[in-house]
Amino acid sequence: MTKKTKGFRLFYYFRIGYGTYLAMFIGLINVLTTTYFLAGKKIPLIQQVFPNFESYVLFCIGVGMPIVILTGWLHFKRIGTYTQEVAISQQYSPYNYKFTPGINREVFGQAYLTILQLNIKRIKGEKLTKEELANILSLEKKFSELIEGGFVGNPPKGVLK
């Protein structure tokens, strides 16, 4: 990993941590306190319905969470925005033009190549060499390891085993 790619990785982790967790938490607290203490203190009806901040928070969570969950569900299942996000990601992903690291490169890519080479040999009427047979047995071992739920190659640090 180069210095440049490490910097991009750290920036990506920062964006995910900040945007997904910290900003959500701070934003939730900000909305609740602002709406209650600014709007709620000036409107007598809100003061009667919610005499204290805790009751307001419980109400907002009880009503707001189902609305936000429904909105998230609509995002994925009904509206079509998620479909477009995935389409754009697919269009610009460099891995659509090469094998991804891991099982695709180390197992499937080699298996495809071996199948092609075996078919060429079969068409020409040639026999397998010992090296080719060893390669096929190695691929078979890798496939067996994957089927049993194991890893092949060198998975990155932190991958659960």
pLDDT class for 2, splitting at 50, 70, 90? confident
Measured distance CA(20)–CA(140) in Å, rounded: 41
Average pLDDT over residues 135-158: 82
For the cut 80, the answer to whether the pLDDT of residue 41 exceeds it is no
Name the DSSP letter for residue 96: G
Element (H, E) at 150: none
For the cut 90, the answer to whether the pLDDT of residue 107 exceeds it is no
Percent of the chain with pLDDT over 90: 28
For the cut 60, the answer to whether the pLDDT of residue 159 exceeds it is no
Average pLDDT over residues 74-103: 83
pTM: 0.54
Residue keyed to tokens 């089927």? 147
Q: Give the max Cα distance, the chain.
A: 92
pLDDT digits (tens, 9 = 90+) for 108-137: 888 888 999 889 988 999 888 898 889 889
Mean pLDDT of the chain: 86
Residue 1, pLDDT score: 66
Residue 161, pLDDT score: 52
Asked whether 152 and 107 are in contact (CB, 8 A), the reply is yes
Measured distance CA(110)–CA(147) in Å, rounded: 17
pLDDT digits (tens, 9 = 90+) for 57-68: 999 999 999 999
Residue 71, pLDDT score: 92
Radius of gyration of the chain (CA): 28
